[in-house]
Amino acid sequence: MGRGGVSKEREDGAERKCLATGEVQPKDGLIRFVVGPEAQVVPDILGKLPGRGMYVAADRDAIALAVKKGLFSRGAKQPVKAPDDLAEEVERQLARRVVDLISMQRKAGKAVAGYEKVKSWLQTEEAEVLIQAVDGSGRGKSKLSTPHYGHYIGCLTADELGLAFGRQTVIHGALASGGLTQRVVDEAKRLNGVRKNETGKGQSKG
């Protein structure tokens, strides 16, 4: 029963059913879609667009299945148009979201980039999240370990990380706890499910 500015996402229950799999799961692992003005399916990455929400797991195959089998029309209870490249559009929007969140953490002093700075944050246990470019050298990435009880993000490219940190390219980054860090982790998890590439889970201590 929140007011206008409060996200409904937090106040009206935490689970929804995936159109493609039929499974009920937490909303933070799903992508919300709404029907636009011209009966087209629109991804609602932030969960704030007006209209009746339809949910699909943050999984490329699940989104493709929903498009292929016309499941959005069934979910909307009306004929709707879902573009063939809907999964690609979801991926683009999620990647932009993660980049923007990391950028905000950088401006707040809660993110660093570059091997030496990241290594220092890991050693002093200031880092809660290790971020490494999916297209970075495996040998170079193996020299840094995920923080104990922390998180690893490995689904962004060096160019995308460069955008987040205001550089051309970035291979290694780290986030401190607090601020938007948990949101970065959650959104990166969704992006990882929608991306084609195999990112692995990163290296963990021990």
In the predicted structure, residue 11 carries a pLDDT above the cut 70: no
pLDDT for the residue numbered 4: 40
C-beta of residue 175 within 8 angstroms of C-beta of residue 106: no
Comparing 13-17, 153-157, 168-172, the range with the smallest average pLDDT is 13-17
Domains, the chain, ordered by start: 8-84 (3.30.1230.10), 90-194 (3.30.1330.30)
In the predicted structure, residue 104 carries a pLDDT above the cut 90: yes
pLDDT for the residue numbered 14: 83
pLDDT for the residue numbered 111: 98
pLDDT in tens, 25-66: 999 899 999 999 999 999 999 999 999 999 999 999 999 999
Higher pLDDT, 17 or 3: 17
pLDDT in tens, 110-161: 999 999 999 999 999 999 999 999 999 998 899 999 999 999 999 999 999 9
pLDDT for the residue numbered 96: 97
